[in-house]
Amino acid sequence: MKRTVIPIGPFHPIQEEPEFFQLTVEGETVVDVDVRLSCNHRGIERLCQDLTYDQIPFLLARICGICSASHPMAFCQACEDLCGVETPPRGLYLRSIICELERIHSHLLWVGLAGHFIGYNTVFMWAWKYREPVLELLERLIGNRNNYENFCVGGCRRDIPQEKLPEITEVMDEVQGNVEMLTKAVLDDPILKVRLGGIGILTYEQARQWCATGPTTRGSGVDIDVRRDEPYAAYNLLDWQVHVQPAGDVFAKTVVRLLEVLEAVKIIRQCVDQIEPGEIRAEVREMPQGEGIGHAEAPRGETFHYVCSDGTNYPIRYKVRAPTYVNLPSFKSSVIGQELADAMLTVAAMDPCYSCTERVAVVRNRRHSKKEILDQRTLMKLSWEKTERIRKNI
């Protein structure tokens, strides 16, 4: 049968960021998938090396518009790991509250988008309407709907005043009612079950094999969650559970996400009840020489940060590994063999976030078999030559 390449991207209605999937299809069945990243590389790791430890969280909040709490969170933990600082309890609770609010709005965003991808625009609009109070709450608490910028090495930058805590509970009541209704509607909808059930299956073994993280792997029955397995913030002080669904299909991933929203509401309620007045930040005098790692459970999975310090105010190496980066290869198992209509949905079901995942890519010109990799020396030489040319023209 004739094979056709269906390009998804670099710009495609299925995602709002530049990405490039090449689906090789026979008829409507996908037989191969290729992913090309780096359409929007921003060099954040390099930029971090020119910023002080106080400035870096502001940059890291901008790695991803949705996970703008998880990345600074992982960074702060990496630095705290490096200098051995203990964050005061109130700081830990504040961190948990913000991280869980982020999870609620991220998952609701995904549910809406998933609805849009299957042409169910009513779900799209409703889920985003339910998400709105959470964003407004974040604005009231932190000052920003996104890019919260509330984390710093040693704790939090701004306190949530004690008298504002009832507001959180109020919004949580609203969110819980709405999400319970939405969850029930999704679980009871027979057409949705037919449409989402049994497609894009990632089995338990495959999920382990590809080292997938987050709801992608929890939908395949793998019971991992950084929040529970290596507790950070206030998670070990709270009573909550990790939701796992064994089926591995898109429907299971949807259910996991919706249940996680309800779980996040539970976590925030407990935080509001347990939080006590006190310090929110431990003072950090200096950064010792050495290495530190930190990880956090972002809405899409585990985000991992590595920092290497030489004792100065700037890190000498900084490394970010976002959850989508490890989830993407699992497409080789879940997308291949699907119908085109399902393949698109499977791609979306992972909740890919491309801006987190960008890496430098080297493009080789295979047709002319000429090596086109520019090393540092060649680049310097090109730069000198250009400077010479410009100088002559002055």
**What is the spatial distance between Cα 26 and Cα 22, in angstroms, rounded to a whole number?**
13
Which positions from 335 to 374 touch another protein by CB under 8 A, shown as an x/- string?
Answer: ----xxxx-x---x--------------------------
211 binds another protein (CB under 8 A): no
Closer to another protein by Cβ: residue 175 or 348 = 348
Distance in Å, CB of 28 to another protein, minimum: 7
Out of 195, 281, 295, 305, the residue judged to bind another protein by CB under 8 A: 195
Phi and psi angles of residue 375, each rounded to the nearest 5 degrees, phi first: -90, 180
Count of helices and strands (H, E) across the chain: 16, 8
- For another protein, what does the binding mask look like between residues 20 and 59, x meaning CB under 8 A? -----x-xx-------------------------------
Would you count residue 192 as binding another protein (CB under 8 A)?
A: yes
* Cβ–Cβ under 8 Å, residues 304 and 176: no
85 binds another protein (CB under 8 A): no
Q: Is the Cβ of residue 28 or residue 54 nearer to another protein in the bound state?
A: 28
CB of 124 to another protein, least distance (A): 8
Angle at 207 between CA 201 and CA 211, to 5 degrees: 150
212 or 344, CB closer to another protein? 344
Angle (CA) 307 329 194, round 5°: 125
Site string (144-183) toward another protein, x via CB under 8 A: ----------------------------------------
Task: Please give the C-alpha separations between residue 386 and each of 68, 192, 263, 344, 373, in angstroms, as whole numbers.
Answer: 39, 59, 58, 45, 19
Q: How far is the C-alpha of 347 from the C-alpha of 151, rounded, in Å?
A: 32
Q: Does 121 bind another protein (CB under 8 A)?
A: yes
**Interface with another protein includes 118 (CB under 8 A)?**
yes
The only residue of 43, 122, 277, 392 in contact with another protein, by rule CB under 8 A? 122
Name the residue nearer to another protein (CB basis): 250 or 264. Answer: 250
Residue partners of 126: CB distance under 8 A and separation at least 6 = 112, 182
CA–CA distance, 193 with 150 (Å, rounded to integer)? 40
Look up residue 312 and give its DSSP letter: S
CA distance 154 to 161: 19
CB of 233 within 8 A of CB of 73? yes
Shortest Å, Cβ 25 to another protein: 8
Q: From the list 110, 117, 210, 232, which residue makes contact with another protein (rule: CB under 8 A)?
A: 117
Judged by the rule CB under 8 A, the positions of this chain that interact with another protein are: 4-6, 12-14, 25, 27-28, 115-126, 129, 191-192, 194-195, 339-342, 344, 348
